[in-house]
Amino acid sequence: MSQQRLNDLIRAASARGILPHHAQQEDITRPWPIVLMSALGAWLVAIPFAVLVIVQAGNALNHGPMAYFLGAVFLAMAILALQIAQPGGFIEQMALPSMLVASYLFALRLYQDLPHAAAGALLALLFMGMAWIVRQQWLRVLLGALACVAVIATVSNNSRFDAMQLWGGLQCVVLVWVAATLASDRSQVSGANASRMIVLESAAGGWIVVALLGLAYASGKTFIVGAGMGSWAGDRHGEIVSHPLPAVVSLAMAVAAGALLARRWPVVRAPRMLAAAALCAMLAWLMPLLGSALLVIAICLAGSRWLLATAAGVTAAWIVGSFYYQLNMPLATKGLVMVVIGAGFGVLGWMDRRGRGERPVSVAPAATLKSGILVTLLATLIIGNGAIWQKENLISNGRVVFIELAPVDPRSLMQGDYMALNFRFPKLSETGRRAKVIARLDANGIAALQREANDQTLAPDELLIELPRHGNAWYFKEGEAQRWAKARYGEFRVDGDGRALLVNLRGENLEKM
């Protein structure tokens, strides 16, 4: 919220007795090293005690009311400690593990005694109730985050988070946050509602952070960063983009975000700003999770929640980067879309600068700027074309080597329009992302991987090969899965330093696919 509104809220809460008199923002009473050491000591005491109690209870936790009773005891201890403790002290830090143990015990029995959705809903209510009772702002943020997780689980109604159910849960928590935040922003600051506004602001912050993390997770891998992340969320993203409903909802949220900003700031109603909003709406249509992030950004900007706006902006950038891995359209089409939209933003930026009549202050900064642009462009061309030249040179001059493919878990054999690959490695150490191995080639060029590479001199019939430790992926056109499923060998080009590049797949008799 804005600084003026925050100051008004602090004064109203102080007058009501909710906050101490002369309370100020960021009133820190203890140095953070002391708080950290207190927290460490509290956890070292609380964890063994909680484990001892749970072990002593034994099988009784799975039957009858024992779990509820112990959960209530731990929760009462936590609330009492929070009421009497000094901020940042040892007793206050003891309350957090006690509260988490109580939550675990309640969840243990609720998910056994009630349907999945009902158990999640009760847990969410429990967390929000605790956020209302406690007076520590950081704990309210944490409880808001836990409540958001419980609501996502409730709406998803599936412990494994089916793709569309996960999407539904994320949209639900975002809309709940939108409604609560807009209602709070429109409320008049007064002593009567100061307590509610303080609790809501803190809990909503933790709530939306979890929602943003969920949006990033559901969107899958992002450009460049995703190269080292494996296949942790790609399947879910593929299922979401294949349904029309997420695209429609994303577009509606993007339009709502633009309308909110236009209402908040008249400058956004300018034609060039509306055109920029239209480009964002196009992106939201193509990326079904982007609209939610754009709506969060708009509300945070309108309410001067700069830190949350930054977090939402990072999430939006992640989602845009995940467009690279979407399998619902060819890569060339995706590239063309991004070029067109990027050019559109560039033109709008140029028009905005021209419309405001901006002129360079001096010749020197303009010359420096042009030089920087040229140097950046030249460096980009050199780096990009250098990598391409290296690959082309390896394909043209590298040695042809065939490596046998190993069976892959059937759940990840076919994922959209690419095939997950693995190779028959000897037993390797766990250091490094890429494995250097020694291989022998037969008359047909088939490599038999012998051992992990070391500093020993290679025999005349041995070859050094550097391969990805966790396999590779082979992309193909949609509808050709059966064709490539018969692959038995990977065809590589290997240079003298062992660098290997996968160029094709071969069948059982080395026939081309």
* Six-digit token string for 179: 């409604």
- pLDDT of 411 reads 36
* Six-digit token string for 405: 């493919």
pTM for this predicted structure = 0.66
pLDDT by residue for the chain (513 residues), tens only, comes to: 555 555 555 555 555 555 555 555 444 456 767 777 877 887 888 888 888 888 888 787 877 788 888 888 888 888 888 777 777 677 778 888 888 888 888 888 888 888 888 888 899 999 998 888 887 888 889 999 999 999 988 887 655 556 778 888 899 999 999 999 998 888 776 656 667 777 888 888 999 999 999 999 888 878 766 555 555 544 456 667 778 899 999 999 999 999 999 998 888 888 888 999 999 999 999 999 999 999 999 999 988 889 999 999 999 999 998 887 777 777 778 888 888 998 988 888 888 777 665 554 444 556 677 777 888 888 877 876 777 777 778 788 888 888 887 655 433 334 445 566 666 655 555 545 566 788 888 888 888 877 777 777 777 777 888 766 555 665 565 566 667 777 788 888 888 777 888 788 888 888 887
Looking only at the bridges linking them, the beta strands covering 434-441 and 446-452 are antiparallel
- pLDDT of 414 reads 40
Amino acid at 434: R
| Close Cβ partners of 68 (under 8 Å, ≥ 6 residues apart) | 105, 106, 109
- pLDDT of 148 reads 93
* Six-digit token string for 500: 């290997």
Does residue 498 sit in helix, strand or coil?
coil
Does residue 329 sit in helix, strand or coil?
coil
Tell me the C-alpha distance between 380 and 423, whole Å: 34
Q: Which residues pair with 404 in a beta bridge?
A: 489
Give the sheet arrangement for strand 418-421, strand by strand: 414-415, 418-421, 472-475
- pLDDT of 413 reads 38
Looking only at the bridges linking them, the beta strands covering 446-452 and 399-404 are parallel
Tell me the C-alpha distance between 371 and 213, whole Å: 39
- pLDDT of 10 reads 57
Residue 224 gets the label, from left (phi > 0), alpha (psi -120 to 50) or beta, of: left
